[in-house]
Structure 1
Amino acid sequence: MTASVAQKAKTATVFIDGEAGTTGLEIRERLAGIDAITVKSIDPDKRKDKAARADMMRGVDLAVLCLPDDAAKEAVALADTLGKDAPKIVDASTAHRVAPGWVYGFAELSPAQADAIRNATRVANPGCYPTGAIALLRPLVDAGLIPSDYPITINAVSGYSGGGRSMIEAYEAGNAPSFELYGLGLEHKHVPELQAYTGLTRRPIFVPSVGNYHKGMLVSVPLHLDTLSGNPSLADIEAVLAKYYKSAELVSVVTGAAGKIARLETEALNDTDKLELFVFGKPELKQAVLVARLDNLGKGAAGAAVQNIKLMLGLA
């Protein structure tokens, strides 16, 4: 057997159900650079044909669902009919993020999470906003600095690419405002996973917003330090975060930001899969603002999906 044939024999196959959407296209582009993965595509005329989709799922190692929630649930039900021939699944929708039997696809969630993803057959990709907020809050809740019943407010801004086809079309046509708050009914679909994976028992207030730029995200959490357990300092919070992510490849803590960085722009990590965490504040005011920065299409979507795909296929 030649080297090229041997290499081909080891190639894993992936089907992106919904590959024409924003996240699907991003995932496909990232997978194109991985020699050990071959992406299989369905005939566009058959993308809603259940039999054709079932045949595609049966013939691949892993399926990625880049679909609306209801369609993702239907795709999982279709995969369930395949029994032992069903592929592993990464669901990029909101449908299964807190569902029983699904592993949450934030590999840095805990020391054991990457292995849980490696051993899983069903993984729910995290939301973009929750990725930043969970990264900031989970270590502090685990360490006891933030009580689980603490009243948390999460503010965030994203580029319009995370808002779906209608929002993207409105902004690109020049028919959308420069900036807008949304989700003001406080029932945004990301709140359940925000609460579940931060470890909070009290429902957080989440206020998302969108700016008139393509991609890039900032997630911020204000804190009154003198209301937290043990009255932690800015340095205490930064130290907990730095220790938690000391071995993380994609998540980093930018140390010493307080008093040195006066402004933070949203697009610095665009086209990367990185996530940066900052601790801002002033000790004498006993106040802090925690900030996460990421590409909402990178670590907030496609980048996380590829990270999960590689773990599930034994490539990482």
Structure 2
Amino acid sequence: MTVQVFIDGAVGTTGLEIAQRLAGREEFALITLDEARRKDDAARREAINDADVVILCLPDDAAVAAVGMIANARTRVIDASTAHRVAPGWTYGFPEVVGREAVAAAKRVANPGCYPTGFIALLAPLIRANLLPVAWPYSCHAVSGYSGGGKALIERFEADRDIAWRGYGLAFGHKHVPEMQAYAHLAIAPLFSPAVIAAMRGMVVEVPLPLSIIPGAPSADVLRAALTEFYAGSPIVSVAQDFPAGGELLLRASMAPWDGLELHVIGSADGEQARLVARLDNLGKGASGAAVQSLNLMAGLDETAGLRL
């Protein structure tokens, strides 16, 4: 049976990359609207209700309005906006963390944010295993390709090629913090410091751990072994076993689309400090790749079908 899919917001970066991953796949048929109709609410409402699955690549308010257009009990939703990530009745679209069965059975799936994907992938398994405390003031430092900032930021970066790094969210209260806290199961909101760099795509997320003062914290080797066991058999998430070559991790401006997620636990020689580091593509596992992974599961297919791995 062919699954009818409508991407609402198909001309944005995330929507375009989802469509690329679905191109040529006989399991799915894309419902499309031409330029004249894609902003017409009546046409969108019809397409949404004709779809088996609608993928929302819209601003938060527009995503909420689109869900309100559903007038049947059949249409399922994957929302790539922030609007429903901690909303009741929505399943968080991180199969490795919440369970593949939960995503496969869900009617409403909230696609994770790109930064939270790295943060939650690193911390949630370790906190769940009681290796790190729930009540600790974790911090998160992260850099992303400028595509992660949306259309307006893309335009600003491409208009001024002299900018190499742009720190933002300096006023606190970043919209990703609620899901970071909720799905890492933290009692204290993390201190989140995001930035974008002069590359279109790619992302590094880091959580520093002062092991010597964290109550009950084990060694970096124990943390790495726990993550390795948690993600064992995953075709998408890998845990590096070796120290990064030369003590460096790289993001290249020429990075090709990639839907994997690579995790590192890097410990100091004296055992007093560690760095949890995630490397991913903010447009891949951080956005479009994650949406396609959830779509595959919801359609009863191999979760990696169509992904760039």
TM-score by shorter chain over 0.5:
yes
Per the TM alignment, residue 40 of structure 1 is displaced from its structure 2 partner at its CA by 1.1
Does the CA contact (< 8 Å) of 2:132 and 2:216 recur in 1?
A: no
In 2, the alpha carbon distance for the partners of 1:269 and 1:278 equals: 19
1:262 and 2:250 are equivalent in the alignment: no
**Structure 1, unpaired ranges of 5+:** 1-9
Does the CA contact (< 8 Å) of 1:270 and 1:298 recur in 2?
A: no
Name segments (4+ residues, structure 1) moved above 6 Å.
Answer: none
1:107-146 equivalent positions in 2, closer than 5 A: 107-110=95-98, 113-146=99-132
Does the CA contact (< 8 Å) of 1:218 and 1:292 recur in 2?
A: yes
Amino acid at match of 1:284: D
1:1-316 equivalent positions in 2, closer than 5 A: 10-79=1-70, 82-84=71-73, 86-110=74-98, 113-174=99-160, 177-257=163-243, 260-267=245-252, 270-316=256-302
Does the CA contact (< 8 Å) of 2:143 and 2:195 recur in 1?
A: yes
Per the TM alignment, residue 34 of structure 1 is displaced from its structure 2 partner at its CA by 2.3
Corresponding residue SS for 2:36: helix
Does the CA contact (< 8 Å) of 2:118 and 2:280 recur in 1?
A: yes
User: Which sits farther off after the overlay, 245-254 or 172-181?
Assistant: 172-181
* Percent of residue pairs identical: 50
Count of aligned residue pairs for this structure pair: 301
Amino acid at match of 2:101: D
In 1, the alpha carbon distance for the partners of 2:78 and 2:22 equals: 14
Per the TM alignment, residue 180 of structure 1 is displaced from its structure 2 partner at its CA by 1.7
Deviations 1:177-231 (A, max 9, x none): 2112110112110000000000111111000001011100000010011223434
Corresponding residue SS for 1:247: coil
Over the aligned positions, Cα root-mean-square deviation in angstroms equals 1.5
Does the CA contact (< 8 Å) of 2:146 and 2:153 recur in 1?
A: yes
Question: Which residue does the alignment assign to 1:6?
Answer: none
Question: Which residue does the alignment assign to 2:305?
Answer: none
In 2, the alpha carbon distance for the partners of 1:307 and 1:280 equals: 29
Corresponding residue SS for 2:262: strand
Does the CA contact (< 8 Å) of 1:92 and 1:126 recur in 2?
A: yes
Per the TM alignment, residue 175 of structure 1 is displaced from its structure 2 partner at its CA by 5.2
Bigger radius of gyration:
1
In 2, the alpha carbon distance for the partners of 1:166 and 1:231 equals: 42
